[in-house]
Structure 1
Amino acid sequence: MTPTVLFVCVHNAGRSQMAAGYLQHLAGDRIEVLSAGSQPADQVNRVAVAAMAEEGIDIAAEQPKVLTESAVREADVVITMGCGDECPFFPGKRYEDWVLDDPAGQGIDAVRPIRDEIRRRVEALVAELIP
């Protein structure tokens, strides 16, 4: 069975989009990837798009999506990123909270280290989920 991972941050515009982009890139179709936000932004953060493009990963076409209960139910692993109490909780799921700086309003030099930390964590997650 293919595991499903849901990345959640408030605006679904930066951190969760970068994480989803990496997971899609590294795992391909071996992991189902979802991302959403409790208050989705109008568009994906341009600086996040640029930072991922440097890694050869195109997230420019992604759209921030609203977090639904069904997305959380579908997911085997729910990874939250700084949305605190706004993230719904369902018993029996594996939850992880990745504490990461918010790239919103930051320049590319500030976003690269956030991107690189997300990559490290996604690589570790892939290693756990796909033995």
Structure 2
Amino acid sequence: MSDLQPKPSVLFVCVHNAGRSQMAGAFLTHLSQGRVEVRSAGSAPADAVNPAAVEAMAEVGIDMSTETPKILTMEAVQASDVVITMGCGDTCPIFPGKRYLDWKLDDPAGQGVEAVRPIRDEIEQRVHDLLSELLLH
């Protein structure tokens, strides 16, 4: 990828921006090593990131302890090439020319770390697949 090529950008969206979208954003940031611009947001952000999600990510060497849920903005959607929704349904604005993916994942809200691990692992696999696709183009 040349320096003239803009970095692909991805926005992960779920309702609370406290679990799934945070884990997906953290994995993509970690795995892309700066080659992808990563955002995450929620249509109704929680007050804090899910502690079980933070713990599950720490187990695989990724620190999310300083992340905070962010509100979904039109600007974030417009600035992204790929928008990946995770259970936010119709609350995510649709813009022509954007690529939308909907990842069906269990919601880790209120779950312990044991329940979050399989969700984390599925997100990691999907992020690996997405990354290889983004960097091939």
State the TM-score, normalized to the length of structure 1: 0.99
Mapped partners of 2:113, 2:76: distance in 1 = 31
Counterpart pick for 1:46 among 51, 65, 74: 51
Corresponding position of 1:61: 66
Residue 107 (str. 1) matches residue 116 (str. 2): no
CA RMSD of aligned residues (A): 0.5
Unaligned stretches of 5+ residues in structure 2: 1-5
Corresponding letter in the other structure for 1:79: I
Instruction: List 4+ stretches of structure 1 deviating above 3 A.
Output: none
Shift of 1:11: 0.3
Q: How many residues align?
A: 131
Unaligned stretches of 5+ residues in structure 1: none
Corresponding letter in the other structure for 1:24: T
Kindly name which structure, 1 or 2, has the bigger radius of gyration based on alpha carbons: 2
Corresponding position of 1:31: 36
Cα deviations across residues 27-81 of structure 1 (Å, max 9, x unaligned)? 0110000000000000000000000000000011001000000000000000000
Corresponding position of 1:88: 93
Mapped partners of 1:57, 1:48: distance in 2 = 11
Residue 130 (str. 1) matches residue 126 (str. 2): no
Mapped partners of 1:106, 1:6: distance in 2 = 24
Shift of 1:91: 1.2
State the TM-score, normalized to the length of structure 2: 0.95
Counterpart pick for 2:23 among 18, 21, 29: 18
Q: Between the two proteins, what is the percent identity of the paired residues?
A: 68
